[in-house]
Amino acid sequence: MDPYITGKTRLYGLVGDPLTAARSPQLLNQVFAEQRVDAACVSFWVKAEHLPAFVTGARAMGNLSGLLVTMPHKQRMLKFVDELHPTARQVGALNVIRCEPDGRWIGAIFDGVGCVLGMQWEGNHPANKSVLLVGAGGAGRAIAFAVASAGASKLTIADVDERRAGDLAASVAAETRCNARSGPPDPHGFEVVINATPLGMKGKDAMPVDPERLAPGTIVVDIINAPEPTPLRRAAHARGCRTQDGGPMHQGQAVHALRFLGFDYRPDGRPAPDGGL
């Protein structure tokens, strides 16, 4: 790939607020360089109230080929796309948009299947395990459907909005036939605990679960992708738990998202997911 931006460079963007921990642009630009693609990915810091104006401007760009969407726009962006991939229809949120040459925007979400793929890579497969999922927002919704579809024996969903957790559990149970219900964020008795909330991104955040209620050997997955272990991961490790950060999920969803955008990406030679998109 020519190291310089040209008049034919295809543009991809990451849209969110904040973007201080964003790593997607580095990943995509590395893939573009390795595959000698004349493309570039940049970050677009867009506040919620400015999202409609951003979309209007972005749709005017003839060289925009795709967008990655992160907090807090995963659900808000639904109304701005022309078509939904089955993942986005099921979850009710999106995290990647493919901009077709004819001007159509197609939205999908791979947080959930990316999380499961990352867990599989790390030997933490949720199949036949009892799972506590804390957080029923955009990422949490995707993870709930993916974990249930991956064969979890029981799924309990906890959220500060109890009604949201209950509605999500009912939808997951109806669509996947998994034993899914809502409940408190009590990790006692679960084999897998997944934090899908932002708690842990800031040093003064409360814990998403009480680590004293974690049993040794519990798999604790914190989807926050930070260079240092979150307080939850540190406390869980001290309790003798297996811990996993957001890195494998980030790579897993990148595999799915890049496939959706037309690129082949296999980090560190890890196996690709089964099935197509």
Residue 48 domain boundaries: 10-109
- Residue from 8, 47, 74, 204 carrying the catalytic annotation: 74
Closest CA to 186 of 208, 170, 217, 201: 208
Residue 260 has pLDDT above 60, yes or no: yes
**Domain assignment of residue 58, yes or no:** yes
Give the residue from 69, 89, 109 where a domain finishes: 109
Closest CA to 41 of 29, 31, 33: 29
Kindly report the CATH number assigned to the domain that includes residue 77: 3.40.50.10860
**Domain assignment of residue 82, yes or no:** yes
Count of domains observed in the chain? 2
244 with 158, same domain: the answer is yes
Band of pLDDT at residue 1, cut at 50, 70 and 90: very low
123 with 241, same domain: the answer is yes
Band of pLDDT at residue 205, cut at 50, 70 and 90: confident
Q: Judge residue 174's burial from the number of C-beta atoms within 10 Å of its C-beta, 0-12 exposed, 13-18 middle, 19 or more buried.
A: exposed
pTM for the model stands at 0.85
74 is known as an active-site residue: yes
34 with 133, same domain: the answer is no
Kindly report the CATH number assigned to the domain that includes residue 150: 3.40.50.720
Band of pLDDT at residue 277, cut at 50, 70 and 90: very low
**Domain assignment of residue 268, yes or no:** no
183 with 93, same domain: the answer is no
Average pLDDT, the chain: 93
**Domain assignment of residue 269, yes or no:** no
